[in-house]
Amino acid sequence: MKDTLKTEKQEILELNYIGTDDWDHPVYKDQNGMLWKDIELGDSQTPSLYSAGKDFDGEPNSRIQKEFVIVTPSVKNPKRFEYSMLGKLQNDCKTHLDNECVRCISQNDIKSTIEQMKELWNQFEAHEKPEWITWEEILSYEERMMA
């Protein structure tokens, strides 16, 4: 009787891009439901993937050890800077209103901060408008902060 050595074929992980977390890590999901984050922020040819368990907001912790293939790649948004800047200005406004802190506003100038927010908002096409801030919210910040 001949002994045959059984070798398990290593599963190749199939990764699909599902979004970007709050730290700008592209997040991929494999066929087993596990999430993987690119700690290079999508800036390298081959992503540097670390597991995040099944928590989209989880910390990347251990480097991927299995072979993988990217089925659905991440695509960098060409207006990434504009979104980030609008988010920063919104945060400045919230901090100013919560703490009555003029120094929390860029260059200590409420009017120019609001104008910059409006300018950024108007740069987006209708289908690009962020869901996390509306034009009405910008006008509300202006009204409350200029009072």
Owner of token pair 């860029």? 106
Q: Round to whole Å and give the CA distance between 63 and 49.
A: 6
Residue 4 lies in a domain: no
pLDDT for residue 5: 53
Q: Round to whole Å and give the CA distance between 70 and 26.
A: 12
Q: Round to whole Å and give the CA distance between 81 and 72.
A: 23
Q: In which domain, by residue range, is 121 found? A: 80-146
> 93 and 62 in one domain?
no
pTM (global) more than 0.85: no
Instruction: Give residue-wise pLDDT tens across range 86-127.
Output: 999 998 899 888 887 766 676 568 889 999 999 999 999 999
Residue 8 lies in a domain: no
> 48 and 91 in one domain?
no
The whole-number average pLDDT for the span 121-140 is: 93
